[in-house]
Amino acid sequence: MTTDLDQLKMQCEIKTFRSSGPGGQHRNVTESAVRLKHLPTGIIVVGQSHRSQHRNLQDALGRLAGKLEERERRRRRKKRIPTRKSKGVREREVAGKRKRGEVKRLRGKVDH
């Protein structure tokens, strides 16, 4: 798996920056957050949950791999072919509705 991540890393533009959020002084002074931009697709992922830049890079690469897999899965999914009811089916449905309406109209109030 590391070779796959290494190949993925070669396809990315990597930028480091300071993390935001809670974490104290250490988080405020080190550039441990990592932003990856996958150059072929333009997908951007960020890893900033750990204190270690290396660990954030691994997290971001894993997240990017997941997004690429999901994108490939969506691309392979068959497209829906729009269908429509045939003329005969529509005519039978309309005839059935007319008949039902006629039955309702023929119902009369009961005189007592």
pTM exceeding 0.85? no
pLDDT tens digit sequence for 31-43: 889 999 999 999 9
| For residues 44-62, average pLDDT | 92
pLDDT tens digit sequence for 62-99: 999 999 999 999 889 888 888 999 999 999 999 999 99
Question: What CATH code is assigned to 2-68?
Answer: 3.30.160.20
Helix ranges (DSSP H) in the chain: 2-10, 24-29, 53-76, 87-106
- Report the amino acid identity of residue 3: T
More confident residue, 31 or 2: 31
